[in-house]
Amino acid sequence: MKKNRNPSDRRHRNIVLGRALVLCLAGAAVTVMAGIGNSDSERWCRVFAEEAITEGETVAAELPVSEETDTLDGTADIQKDTTEEASAEADDIEEKIQIMQNLTAMDVVSDMKIGWSLGNTLDATKSSASIDDDPSKFETAWGNPVVTQELIDAVLDAGFNVVRIPVTWTGHFGEAPDYTIAESWLDRVQETADYAYDKGAYVIINMHHEEWNEPYYDNEETACEIMTALWSQIAERFADYDEHLIFEAQNEPRKKGTSVEWTGGDQEGWDVVNATNAAFIETIRSAGGCNPYRMLMIPDYAANSSVALSHLEVPEDDDRIIVSVHAYEPYNFALNTAGTSEWNNDTAAIDTLMSNLQELFLDKGIPVIIGEFGALSKDNEAERAEWVAYYVSAAKEIGVPCIWWDNGNIIGDGERFGLISRYTYKCVFNDLLDAMMSAAK
């Protein structure tokens, strides 16, 4: 028998179900956009949405079918909007994929002018901090302030079109077997990457100071397991980013504290680095979205620029692989704090490096990026300006872009590679910068 309801009941029903729909959407939005809200707001939306749904269903159950139609139609409209939005996102990814399918790593590298590396920031470690701490505790642990959009804008305005973001993941993921990365850390990495990506720059994200990643045979299986787990999560987070986002497998994988740490490695070290690189490539290529076509960077042992280069294995069936090399040459001028402050036009090491890169990779169609280079300040800007002009010109001649290592250190002791102030956002060595940009044109 049909039950009669007065108009106020119907209005009540519509208000309640409307409230339910709104709160359900709010809860879904918070869930999808984790990191913009927080866990408390997410739980709040879910609780109240569930209460409203329960109340709405109770009222609706007593109404005639004809009276429920309006609300059901409204629900259908919302579902239609959601479906259309999802379809638009899928179309956007498909459009990016179509573009990336027609690009090789050589194409992308040739579009790079010169890069800047955000050193000693998201790669910083802090043993007293925990996975649940705010990301800023890690980000500022080595003396640099929290990164801002203004800093990255200053970098791009200075002429750099590549921003490398070294990231340490150790201390930010859970136990085996999932090795789940803290949502807050992924959010912060993405936010920082977006500072440059949203402005059209190329962005490189890597794995930097990873204590689990030393290249020994008895660690190979575990290292590959963690490498796979972490990069799977990173790839999922950035699945819809186009060719301007590049993943770099690892930083300088090496046997720390041994006689071969910085001398080019040994057979064991070469083998395990090749194995972890392979695990990285397979992981990204198996991921969804744009990842099967993403440009990937792989280093040799310790990202060495001499002995280890000839032992690096580069897949022959993947033309979206870039070799990553670090080269502070000549060492006594560029990196040795106790070395000389005078360059003396010592080009031998630079010339040898470029010749080796040409022979081992470029002549075979394999692109190279010098992922870290620089000459630390010894109060010798004029010498460094002459040096950087030669270095960048030599690299440009063979098609290799260079990325300046900026650790934020401008004054005091230690390795002073700082170029752009993290506080004023101004370049502190304009002659050096001008020489760099002129050579990179």
Please name the amino acid found at residue 310.
Answer: S
Name the active-site residue from 42, 243, 329, 372. Answer: 372
Is 329 an active-site residue? no
Name the active-site residue from 42, 139, 252, 329. Answer: 252
Cα–Cα distance measured from residue 78 to residue 130, given in angstroms and rounded to the nearest whole number: 41
The radius of gyration of the chain from alpha carbons, rounded to an integer in Å, stands at: 26
Q: Find all residues with CB under 8 Å of 407, minimum gap 6, and list them.
A: 119, 120, 415, 417, 418
Is 183 an active-site residue? no
Q: Which residues are catalytic?
A: 252, 372
